[in-house]
């Protein structure tokens, strides 16, 4: 099981700017835990996400010398992808493609069709710079805007992405609306339909719902799961009451009970949880 820790998602909605040195210290703690990937920052407009305006400075000061954890940066357009591609330390670029037209416009100021076109350009940047593109399918389990949604629509998005050469796709429960049945149905179908794709689960959930959502994804065959220490986060552009990420400590506990193979150092995780207090209080 690949665990992707998401401090970027956890921090991006905080009202007060987290000092750069505090970010760097926290991220360096997380790099020692044993996560497969660290979603550490984003190269997006500082007007849209002011919290991440120091990502370029942060990445240059992370200690990558004694970690197997890879870095993922979120980008929202070609310009951001080109900026992120300059950093050898970054292995993955993540792009939020939405199943919802309304949310795509809110999140990246472009239509779904325009976003698909940009995904193609970003994929070319990734190929040239030896990086992998991770596409998040936001509102992947439904949305609050009353738009058409079905697992078949998500499948159509996945099919287009696969034809573009993208092999890491993460349906995302942007507002925490997914049910265990929906998780089992969607991932069970997608994994069977596209066995060559690495499907990730980016789920938001209240703490009491985390274990059953983790179990549903695991039983459906998911081998890549996003989480955030202490369950912080939530999309600041979704216009709903923020529902946080699945808490890392709860995800780890549930996966261990399910018999998943994890390379998480429990002591380092506990130290990172202590360090998180300086970021989130």
How confident is the model at residue 109, as a pLDDT?
86
* Mean pLDDT score, 23-52: 97
Provide the pLDDT confidence category of residue 234 given band limits of 50, 70 and 90.
low
Q: What is the pLDDT of residues 50-103, one digit of tens each?
A: 999 999 999 999 999 999 999 999 999 999 999 999 999 999 999 999 999 999
Share of the chain above pLDDT 70, in %: 96
Mean pLDDT of the chain: 93
**Contact between 4 and 72 (Cβ < 8 Å):** yes
How confident is the model at residue 78, as a pLDDT?
97
- Is the model's pLDDT at 235 over the cut of 90? no
What gap in Å lies between CA 28 and CA 123, rounded to an integer? 29
Q: What is the pLDDT of residues 244-273, one digit of tens each?
A: 899 999 999 999 999 999 999 999 999 999
pTM above 0.85, yes or no: yes
* Mean pLDDT score, 29-34: 98
Q: For residue 165, give every residue at least 6 positions away whose Cβ sits within 8 Å of its Cβ, in sequence order, or none.
A: 123, 127
């Amino acid at each position: 099981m690949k665990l992707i820790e998401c401090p970027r998602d956890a921090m991006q909605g905080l009202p007060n700017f987290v000092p750069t040195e505090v970010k760097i210290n926290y991220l360096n703690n997380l790099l020692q835990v044993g996560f497969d990937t660290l979603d550490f920052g984003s190269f997006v407009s500082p007007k849209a996400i002011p919290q991440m305006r120091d990502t370029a400075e942060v990445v240059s000061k992370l200690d990558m010398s004694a970690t197997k954890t890879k870095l993922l940066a979120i980008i929202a357009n070609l310009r951001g992808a080109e900026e992120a591609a300059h950093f050898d330390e970054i292995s993955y670029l993540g792009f939020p493609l939405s199943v919802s037209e309304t949310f795509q416009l809110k999140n990246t100021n472009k239509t779904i069709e325009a976003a698909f076109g940009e995904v193609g350009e970003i994929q070319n940047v990734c190929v040239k710079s030896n990086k992998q593109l991770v596409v998040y399918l936001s509102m992947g389990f439904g949305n609050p805007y009353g738009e058409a949604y079905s697992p078949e629509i998500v499948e159509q998005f996945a099919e287009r992405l696969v034809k573009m050469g993208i092999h890491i796709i993460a349906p995302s429960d942007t507002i925490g609306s997914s049910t265990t049945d929906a998780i089992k149905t969607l991932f069970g179908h997608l994994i069977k339909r596209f066995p060559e794709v690495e499907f990730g689960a980016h789920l938001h959930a209240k703490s009491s719902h985390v274990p059953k959502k983790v179990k549903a994804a695991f039983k459906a065959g998911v081998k890549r799961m996003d989480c955030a220490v202490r369950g912080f986060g939530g999309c600041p552009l979704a216009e709903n009451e923020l529902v946080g990420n699945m808490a890392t400590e709860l995800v780890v506990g549930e996966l261990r009970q399910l018999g998943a193979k994890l390379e998480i150092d429990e002591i380092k995780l506990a130290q990172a949880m202590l360090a998180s207090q300086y970021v989130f209080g």
